[in-house]
Chain A
Amino acid sequence: MEIHEFLKPEAICLQITVETSEEVIRMLGTKLHALGYVKDGFIEATLKREADMPTGLPLDGEINAAIPHVDIEFVNQSALALATLTKPVVFYNMVDSDEAVPVRLVIMLALDQPKSQITMLQEVSHIFQQPEIVRQLTEATTPEQVLSILNRMSSSS
């Protein structure tokens, strides 16, 4: 499973309560910045991109997701950050930016090369395609639980 190489326990924020998508993007971006994965300006650039080209994904269950990310120039080294929210915040649909999507699972992607990390990206999309995995992730209370859920997913799919 490649996700493990990119998702560090320090960049997992569980059961957080925020009011806006901006708050959760700032929180995850701050973690990635503190860990040295992203450059100054990453957060502002990600917020700008989210406003311009949103990343909300309506999923096949009750819980929806978003994958905020930005150009490679703001990234030092590829990494993921993950947040689960106690109550949904509004993101907008990636392919229909007028449609509000209430989101409780946020996976921030920091990618340092174009068209790369395909296995990791496919694993992220596999998460979204399994409502049961998404539900388990939103119920996890420790980063270890999150990594273990993802591990089980990889061994069963």
Chain B
Amino acid sequence: MAKTVIVSCGTGIATSTVVAVAIEEACKKEGLSVIVKQCKAAEIPMLLADGADLVVTTSTLRFDPGIPVIKGLAFLTGIGKEQVMAQIMDVLRK
């Protein structure tokens, strides 16, 4: 079954768009089928109710969603981007 990734940022419109597209492209390249849901950090609990496997966030999370959380700032700054993408792929391949 396809894994679900929640990609969140402060407003759900800007930085999460960059991260979501990067993850979608990487998964396509790897032949991984994933569902990417983009939202504001405040909307994460609502999406968790439908089930999800991973949160990638560019904003500060003030609660524990109970599933793995990976910080996605690397997709904006380039610092450690490959390692972060590898971590994401590790979770999604499981």
Contacts and interface: CB of A to CB of B under 8 A. Distances in A.
Interface of A: 49, 52-55, 57-60, 67, 69-72, 94-97, 109, 111, 113-118, 121-122, 125, 128-130
Q: Chain B interface: which size bin?
A: 20 to 34
Nearest to A117: B17
Given A54-B60, A69-B14, 15 more contacts: A53-B11, A53-B59, A58-B79, A59-B79, A60-B78, A67-B15, A70-B11, A94-B10, A95-B71, A95-B73, A97-B60, A113-B13, A115-B13, A117-B17, A125-B78
A94 B14 contact: no
Of listed B13, B58, B59, B71, residue having the most chain A CB within 10 A:
B13
Interface of B: 9-15, 17-18, 20-21, 38, 41, 57-60, 71-73, 75-79
A109 B58 contact: no
Contact of A49 (B10, B38, B58, B79): B10
A60 B41 CA distance: 26
A67 B14 contact: yes
29 contacts: A49-B11, A53-B10, A53-B60, A57-B77, A59-B77, A59-B79, A60-B77, A60-B78, A69-B14, A94-B9, A95-B57, A95-B60, A96-B60, A97-B60, A109-B14, A111-B14, A114-B12, A114-B13, A115-B12, A115-B20, A116-B17, A118-B17, A121-B18, A122-B18, A122-B21, A125-B77, A125-B78, A128-B77, A129-B78
Contacts of A111: 13-14
B11 A128 contact: no
Nearest to B60: A97
B73 A69 contact: no
A49 B10 CA distance: 8
B77 A58 contact: yes
Q: Is the interface of A mostly helix, strand, loop or mixed?
A: loop
Contact of A115 (B10, B17, B41, B57): B17
B24 to A, nearest CB: 11
Given A95-B60, A122-B18, A53 B73 contact: no
A84 B83 CA distance: 31
A67 B9 CA distance: 13
Nearest to B10: A53
B13 A71 contact: yes
Nearest to A55: B10
